[in-house]
Amino acid sequence: MTILVAEDDPLTLDALSTCIESDGFQVLRAKDGREAIDLWRNAKPDLLCLDVMMPMVDGYEVCRRVRAGDRTIPILFLSAKNQEVDVVVGLDLGADDFIRKPFTRNEVMARIRAALRRSAPRETGDNFRLSGVTIRPRALLAERGNDIVELTPREISMLRLLHTNAGEAVTRDAFLDACWGMDYYPDSRTLDQHISQLRKKIEIDPSCPQIIQTVRGVGYRTDSNQLG
């Protein structure tokens, strides 16, 4: 999934983009409203994060123009302005949420995921199952019965890789190449930490995992009988 971030302060733009990318999203960066409109038209992102006060074209006007052509794309405003009237104006223009600065990483990511879930269709052919768990990539969710947990795009990529290669050991390098797209040093614990968190979300008993099994010295595997 791709998120367009429009922010005229370079430090905030870089920090927010890095935060979003760390969860596995692709990020398009715009330093002003005019560039944001051009990127929206040409790149078709899945969600917009717009600063309100920007040069050239402010965030409100960007929202107005986008909504004239797309009624469904999630739009989040980011602003140091915290008066009720500012929030009301943004929501009346069709924004989905208004995030006040300063904000924490956890807050902004939770709001982004919530906006994407609200815009996602309930069912899609992209869904897949692992041992009774339904993975819904567009909604960034995993479901087991009535239990629902949030997933990041990277976690979904990891599960999809296991699903595609069910019955085979997926090497650590294969995970890093497919889900991070960059090289990591051999002693990196990044993958193991992500696997540990993912097990807590989808395994019935994370201490005795059935879906994501460790293959010592190689990587991880899910058995083919875990599909469905």
DSSP per-residue letters across 106-147: HHHHHHHHHHHHHHS-S--TT-EEETTEEEEGGGTEEEETTE
pLDDT tens-place values along the chain, 228 residues long:
899 999 999 999 999 999 999 888 999 999 999 999 999 999 999 999 999 999 889 999 999 999 998 888 999 998 887 667 777 887 888 888 888 888 888 889 998 988 888 777 655 568 999 988 999 988 889 999 889 998 888 899 899 999 999 999 999 888 888 887 654 444 457 788 889 989 999 999 999 999 999 999 999 999 877 676
| pLDDT value for 186 | 43
Q: What contacts 24+ positions apart, CB below 8 Å, involve 149-157?
A: 149/201, 149/202, 150/113, 150/201, 151/201, 152/23, 152/24, 152/113, 153/1, 153/23, 153/24, 153/25, 154/23, 154/24, 154/179, 154/180, 154/194, 155/24, 155/194, 155/197, 155/198, 155/201, 156/24, 157/24
DSSP lists the bridge partners of residue 134 as 129, 143
Instruction: Output the pLDDT for position 96.
Output: 84
| pLDDT of the residue at 226 | 66
pLDDT at res. 125: 61
> What are the strands of the beta sheet with 2-6, ordered from one edge?
26-30, 2-6, 47-51, 75-79, 97-100
Question: Model-level pTM greater than 0.75?
Answer: no
Q: Which residues neighbour 46 within 8 Å (Cβ) at sequence distance 6 or greater?
A: 1, 2, 3, 73, 74, 116
**Hey, what domains does the chain have and what are their CATH numbers?**
2-119 (3.40.50.2300), 128-226 (1.10.10.10)
